[in-house]
Structure 1
Amino acid sequence: MTYQPKSEFLRTIIARGFLADCTDLQSLDEDLLKGPVTAYIGYDATAQSLHVGHLLNIMLLRWWQKTGNRPITLMGGGTTKVGDPSFRSDERPLLGPEQIDANIAAMKQVFARYLDYGDSPTGGLMLNNAEWLDGLNYLDFLRDIGRHFSVNRMLSFESVKSRLDREQSLSFLEFNYMILQAYDFLELNRRQGCLLQMGGSDQWGNIVNGIDLTRRVLETEIYGLTTPLLTTSDGRKMGKSQGGAVWLNGDMLSPYEFWQFWRNTTDADVGRFLKLYTELPVAECDRLGALEGSEINAAKIILANEVTTLLHGADAAAAAEATAREVFEKGGAGGDLPTLTLTAEDLGDGISIVQLITRSGLAKTGKEAKRLIAENGARMNDEPLTNAGTMIDAAALATPIKLSAGKKRHALVVLAD
């Protein structure tokens, strides 16, 4: 990079590894030096919770605000009805308005942990693009906005091209998504003076469309900035674990399980993740990331505590660490472990150990649970499980049962009073 930015925001994100591309780094830097700038990131409401894959850009918005600028979280109440086709092999399931609104309500609690939505020059805004998309007149929109888009150019974007190259269907509904996202940027510039859209590098084409549209319609220069698409050092997509998505909402993934995800970070990723997902100084992140052997485990605990504190609070992080120490160092059950509560009706005359392993989330299917037992990867109360036909009755559940899958995944099974 030849140009060396002077603004605090750009210097911070470059040092911490957030920057992939920017449409005009120098001009954006000059605008940032003049005072608060407004930027947004869009989030479609396709699920009840955001997941760890979203956390990089949530941290980016947090740094944006911490360095004296105004963030907008744009909820996709309108665009979720269409579905972003970017780099997908099939069309997203269509959600109804009630489900979309419920998803947005559930997602809001996460943003409130990272951003200040107070009434100040840098106070965050949470907007919903349904406000301007739901009332669009189709013919007027085609005439006023659609005429600025070249189908030839839209077909050249990698997100669309890759789908067509694989001869996978791309519906006309999905094809409109990039126009709607571009229109969002235009509206946010018109309504809020928003000068920057940020997002993952898979959104580059959509962001550039918004910049071009705003330049044509409003004759305004705005910017785009993207973050890298993260994979772990062993090549896995960031945010995936053995149990599926790593959700940010505590009612979908317990703070302990969230803490444990970060504690299990691969050695080679610790320094990089400390810079991206915590607010520790860069030099300290580099020092911790360079530790080796057993010392790197202390760095992983710091990573887990810092990230969990930001999302769930310091008390939840401390409880998670205490549970981990109880489970791993003392061999105990740990009161904060994920818990499966069975009723007497659930239990009946007895329930198989395979069902318990599956229902507790330690295996996705009965077949996977049986394989875990066959390969000596399952334990009950820290004793190896060798018989997939083992039945558990009320007497066995007189005290909670601790189930383990491998060395790092645990759950409690208790009988309801």
Structure 2
Amino acid sequence: MSSIKKNLIEELKWRGMIHDMMPGTEEQFNKEMTTTYVGFDPTADSLHVGHLVSVMILNHLQRAGHKPLAIIGGATGMIGDPSFKSDERVLLDEESIAKNIAGVRKQLEKFMDFDCGENSAELLNNYDWMKDFSFIDFVRDAGKHITVNYMMSKDSVKRRLEAGTGLSFTEFTYQLLQGWDFYHLYTTKGCKVQMGGSDQWGNIVTGTELIRRKASGEAFAVTCPLITKSDGTKFGKTEGGAVWLDPEKTSPYQFYQFWLNVSDEDAEKYIKIFTFKTKEEIEALIAEHREAPHQRALQRALAEDITERVHSKEDLEMAIKASSILFGKNVTDDLKSLDERTLLQVFEGVPQVEISKGDLVDLEDVNDLLSAATGGIVFKSKGEARRMIAGGGVSINKAKIAGEEKPTDFELLQGKYLLAQKGKKNYYLIKVNA
């Protein structure tokens, strides 16, 4: 008991992270340091925000004094989990899977402590113990112990058969392969618990059944709810697709914006699941938010916490600067400090126009730049530009202009851009080519 730091199940329950659990699981966690695993199929070379639930569970495990195992499915990833999928997954080749595993491994290593003594995390690839497992050995050692009736009773199998889309033998055997992983980890690592999303319940209990029948052992299953948005749409998806942890796929600015823009209802749920803030801290934040919802204190706390943890403090600061530019005042310095990629993302979709540096130098004043020289994109005429500038409604690089300035008076953002603003919400990006 000395190594157990807190009641893990109690912690996960108040955070809304328990969906189903086998009897005796909580007692097992409270009795001793318990080795527990969560699996990640390498279907892409990056995890996305949906995987963060599993990552957080592994973190809570370790913080509570238990030993987490993160298993990358190099073998099972070659087959594809049919759980609650309407169609069979496309099989990946070995080269793609190897690339995906490398990307996922790099990300998982960032979230867990692999050098903290007896409950150090471990990262394993099930291909290492499945690669030399012959088909004959598999059907004899695994298939012999689990009946077809048992496998057919699983909801993931029944749904596919009832839908009429069918199920290949390859996918049908997936639960046996995942069950074998649990059995292997039970016998080699003393792993007694598997955790995963609620769609994994059937696969996980197949493992506990295999352990019971083949090793006369006792093992346990815990699942967490599949996270959804309050409007019923899929969590972790935007118009641009999935929200990835890889900054090359989803930039820190886009990642920060995803969390900043969740609904109030979702923010109250997500801050419990995706941060390590205490119950007292979260309750105080929720109370503060409800008093002044327009200030979005909850969303900001959530976005800041998770962006810094997934990326870095520097990336968070850049994301905050970028986010303040559209709505803040006196943000010229913030604008100048943005890197080009973030600048273009902040102003994605605004009208853009190009002009050569030579033409820029030849212009008489900024009125010319904002009218004829840029094809009338910002103002249709020099007179229209002059009138709005006189009324104080025009900015270049977020600084108000008087109309007498030369276009060359302005510092080019990233050495190639000028940001024109007309009124409060109309932006135009002028690219100056060499």
Same fold (TM over 0.5): yes
Question: Residue 354 of structure 1: CA displacement?
Answer: 10
Corresponding residue of 1:400: 417
Q: Is the 8 A contact 1:117 1:125 kept in 2?
A: yes
Question: Residue 92 of structure 1: CA displacement?
Answer: 1.3
Corresponding residue of 1:64: 61
Q: Does 1:37 align with 2:34?
A: yes
Corresponding residue of 1:249: 246
**Aligned counterpart in structure 1 of residue 258 of structure 2, from 256, 261, 268:** 261
**Aligned counterpart in structure 2 of residue 101 of structure 1, from 98, 102, 105:** 98
- Pairs within 5 Å for 1:4-23: 8-23=7-22
Question: Residue 59 of structure 1: CA displacement?
Answer: 0.4
Residues in 2 aligned to 1:356 and 1:196: alpha-carbon distance in whole angstroms: 55
Corresponding residue of 2:274: 277
Structure 2 segments unaligned to the other structure (5+ residues): 354-376, 380-411
Q: 2:60 is paired with a residue of what secondary structure?
A: helix
Residues in 2 aligned to 1:319 and 1:411: alpha-carbon distance in whole angstroms: 21
Residues in 1 aligned to 2:202 and 2:71: alpha-carbon distance in whole angstroms: 18
Question: Residue 284 of structure 1: CA displacement?
Answer: 2.2
Count of matched residue pairs: 363
Change (3 A) 1:132 1:403: farther
Corresponding residue of 1:303: 302
Q: Does 1:189 align with 2:207?
A: no
Corresponding residue of 1:46: 43
**Aligned counterpart in structure 2 of residue 142 of structure 1, from 130, 139, 144:** 139
Q: 2:326 is paired with a residue of what secondary structure?
A: helix
Residues in 1 aligned to 2:244 and 2:219: alpha-carbon distance in whole angstroms: 33
Q: Deviations over 1:54-109 (max 9, x none)?
A: 11111011000011111000000100111111111112111111211111111122
Change (3 A) 1:340 1:7: closer
Residues in 2 aligned to 1:52 and 1:416: alpha-carbon distance in whole angstroms: 38
Q: Deviations over 1:301-346 (max 9, x none)?
A: 11100011111122221221122112322486841574598xxxxx
Q: Does 1:159 align with 2:176?
A: no
Q: Does 1:239 align with 2:256?
A: no
Q: Does 1:87 align with 2:84?
A: yes
Residues in 1 aligned to 2:204 and 2:40: alpha-carbon distance in whole angstroms: 14
Question: Residue 142 of structure 1: CA displacement?
Answer: 0.8
Q: Deviations over 1:175-205 (max 9, x none)?
A: 1111100000000001100010000000000
Q: Say what the alpha-carbon RMSD is for the aligned residues.
A: 3.2
Letter in 2 for 1:285: I
Corresponding residue of 2:322: 323
Corresponding residue of 1:55: 52
Residues in 2 aligned to 1:402 and 1:155: alpha-carbon distance in whole angstroms: 61
Q: 1:72 is paired with a residue of what secondary structure?
A: strand
Q: Is the 8 A contact 1:83 1:94 kept in 2?
A: yes
Change (3 A) 1:244 1:130: same
Letter in 2 for 1:318: E
Q: Is the 8 A contact 2:208 2:220 kept in 1?
A: yes
Q: Deviations over 1:123-154 (max 9, x none)?
A: 00000000111111111221121011222222
Q: Is the 8 A contact 2:350 2:429 kept in 1?
A: no
What is the TM-score when the length of structure 1 is the normalising length? 0.79
Residues in 1 aligned to 2:79 and 2:111: alpha-carbon distance in whole angstroms: 28
Residues in 2 aligned to 1:88 and 1:101: alpha-carbon distance in whole angstroms: 24
**Aligned counterpart in structure 1 of residue 70 of structure 2, from 65, 73, 77:** 73
Change (3 A) 1:329 1:355: closer
Residues in 1 aligned to 2:157 and 2:430: alpha-carbon distance in whole angstroms: 47
Residues in 1 aligned to 2:430 and 2:235: alpha-carbon distance in whole angstroms: 30
Residues in 2 aligned to 1:118 and 1:220: alpha-carbon distance in whole angstroms: 29
Q: Is the 8 A contact 1:268 1:289 kept in 2?
A: no
Letter in 1 for 2:33: P
Larger Rg: 2
Corresponding residue of 1:367: none
Residues in 2 aligned to 1:50 and 1:411: alpha-carbon distance in whole angstroms: 35
